[in-house]
């Protein structure tokens, strides 16, 4: 029995509660929204909504507050994403356009998102796994050490110092570099292990120790970076919002890469927004917080995710609008570079 008016009541409750941060009562509701009925009627509706678990009262004789389930219904059916203003759009564009490299793009994005939403922003670095090899470079550092650099098409650079078993001359290094580039150029990172598996055998015997050492470092670096890097910004915004749960837990979660990963969630369609409300998210320390996330990527490939984290009591339409817009702009920037 959730007729239209009850839904309108729920929507009104969510909106009021989000803006005032106080439990909202029947009288205040009819005053602020013109529902055309009396407070008593609203009370009946509220009783039903409460019974169905969409709202709750903190104490007897207090107004109602949306539950996680209530927010969920609100997000799914009662609200629509609010697009950004023209000024905001332009600000995003100019701010992101100035980025000089991939690091810069990510840093700027996360700050931008934090400022725009006044919440904590989280951005995952573009995945390496769906990138391809652009170039491999070997730079001799000393007689027995060289630096191995791998550049991907997404502009990311992986570097490692390789300790060599023997003194190796420049010629050998140059040769190996050429061979590596020839066989790996354009190859997807996931395909690299296959490509190089039989590589030592195709080299003259005296080159094999060098090749083996370099390859082992290469493969190792691929595995290690599987765990993607995540950065956040805007922690100061947590200070204002009073959390039901201690904000210590929130800060801890933010510094725990693994937890963050899981919070951003699995990759989904880039244009789709994922919203996790309170208890829906897979980490007990974060009751009372919601996550709004979206994928981004250059072209049609989904590279990584970004989003914001804030109190359950957040302005979902606006937040979702900002996240979606930023995700799109970042995708554009990446596609263009």
Interface residues with its own copies (CB under 8 A) are 100-101, 134-135, 137, 139, 141, 147, 149, 151, 153, 155, 157, 159-161, 221, 224, 233-236, 238-240, 246-248, 251-252, 254-255, 337
Choose, by CB under 7 A, the member of 12, 14, 18, 28 that binds DNA.
28
Q: Is residue 38 near DNA by the rule CB under 7 A? A: yes
Q: Is residue 34 near DNA by the rule CB under 7 A? A: no
Q: Is residue 40 near DNA by the rule CB under 7 A? A: yes
Considering the complex, state which of residue 242 and residue 252 has its C-beta at the smaller distance from DNA. 242
Q: Which does 47 bind (CB under 5 to 8 A by kind): DNA, its own copies, none?
A: DNA
Buried b vs exposed e over 194-233: b needs ≥16 C-beta within 10 Å?
A: eebeebbeebeeebeebbebbbebbeeebeebeebebbbb
Q: Which does 222 bind (CB under 5 to 8 A by kind): DNA, its own copies, none?
A: none
- Please, is 256 exposed, middle or buried when counting C-beta atoms within 10 Å of its C-beta (0-12, 13-18, 19+)? middle
What's the full length of the chain, in residues?
337
Choose, by CB under 7 A, the member of 2, 8, 32, 41 that binds DNA.
41
Q: Is residue 43 near DNA by the rule CB under 7 A? A: yes
Shortest approach of its own copies to residue 275 CB, angstroms? 25
For residue 244, what is the DSSP state? Answer: S
- CB-based contact 314:283 (threshold 8 Å): no
Q: Which residues contact 245 (CB under 8 A, 6 or more apart)?
A: 285, 286, 287, 288, 289
Distance, CA of 32 to CA of 48 (rounded, Å)? 21
- CB-based contact 162:172 (threshold 8 Å): no
Q: In the stretch 7-26, what mask flags binding to DNA with x, by CB under 7 A? A: ----------------xxxx
Considering the complex, state which of residue 5 and residue 262 has its C-beta at the smaller distance from DNA. 5
| Backbone angles phi and psi of 33, in degrees to 5 | -115, 140
CA distances from 255 to 113, 248, 258, 288 (A): 18, 11, 9, 18
Judged by CB under 7 A, the stretch of 57-65, 87-95, 253-261, 304-312 that binds DNA is 57-65
Distance, CA of 108 to CA of 92 (rounded, Å)? 10
Considering the complex, state which of residue 90 and residue 248 has its C-beta at the smaller distance from its own copies. 248
Q: Is residue 48 near DNA by the rule CB under 7 A? A: no
Q: Is residue 33 near DNA by the rule CB under 7 A? A: no
Q: Which does 159 bind (CB under 5 to 8 A by kind): its own copies, DNA, none?
A: its own copies
Site residues for DNA, window 221-280 (CB under 7 A)?
none
Q: Which does 34 bind (CB under 5 to 8 A by kind): DNA, its own copies, none?
A: none
**Strand pairing report for 157-163 and 145-152:** antiparallel
Q: Is residue 320 near DNA by the rule CB under 7 A? A: no
Shortest approach of its own copies to residue 69 CB, angstroms? 29
Paired residues of 150 in beta bridges? 136, 158
Shortest approach of its own copies to residue 336 CB, angstroms? 11
Residue recorded with tokens 């007897």 = 60
Considering the complex, state which of residue 8 and residue 217 has its C-beta at the smaller distance from DNA. 8
Q: Which residues contact 190 (CB under 8 A, 6 or more apart)?
A: 129
Q: Is residue 142 near DNA by the rule CB under 7 A? A: no
Contacts with DNA by CB under 7 A lie at 5, 23-28, 36-41, 43-44, 46-47, 50, 57, 59-64
């Amino acid at each position: 029995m959730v007729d239209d008016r009850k839904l309108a009541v729920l929507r009104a409750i969510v909106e009021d509660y989000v803006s005032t941060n106080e439990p909202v009562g029947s009288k205040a509701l009819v005053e602020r929204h013109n529902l055309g009925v009396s407070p008593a009627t609203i009370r009946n509706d509220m009783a039903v909504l409460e019974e169905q678990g969409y709202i709750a009262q903190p104490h007897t004789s207090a107004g109602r507050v949306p539950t996680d389930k209530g927010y969920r219904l609100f997000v799914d059916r009662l609200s629509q994403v609010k697009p950004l203003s023209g000024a905001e759009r332009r600000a995003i564009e100019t701010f992101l356009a100035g980025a000089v490299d991939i690091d810069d793009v990510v840093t700027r994005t996360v700050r931008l998102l934090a400022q725009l939403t006044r919440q904590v922003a989280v951005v995952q670095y573009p995945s390496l796994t769906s990138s391809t090899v652009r170039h491999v470079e070997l730079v001799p550092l000393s007689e027995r050490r060289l630096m191995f650099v791998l550049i991907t098409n997404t502009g990311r650079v992986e570097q490692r110092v390789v300790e060599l078993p023997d003194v190796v001359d420049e010629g050998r290094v140059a040769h190996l570099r050429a061979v590596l580039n020839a066989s790996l150029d354009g190859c997807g990172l996931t395909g690299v292990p296959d490509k190089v598996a039989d590589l030592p055998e195709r080299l003259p015997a005296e080159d094999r120790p060098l090749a083996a050492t370099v390859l082992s470092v290469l493969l190792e670096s691929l595995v290690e970076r599987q765990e993607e890097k995540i950065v956040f910004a805007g922690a100061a915004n947590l200070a204002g919002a009073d959390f039901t749960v201690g904000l210590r837990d929130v800060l801890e979660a933010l510094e725990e890469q693994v937890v963050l990963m899981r919070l951003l969630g699995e990759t989904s369609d880039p244009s789709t927004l994922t919203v996790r409300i309170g208890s829906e998210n897979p980490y007990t320390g974060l009751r009372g917080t919601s996550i709004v996330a979206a994928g981004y990527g250059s072209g049609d490939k989904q590279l990584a995710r970004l989003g914001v984290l804030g109190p359950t009591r957040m302005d979902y339409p606006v937040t979702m609008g900002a996240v979606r817009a930023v995700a799109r702009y970042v995708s554009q920037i990446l596609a263009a570079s």
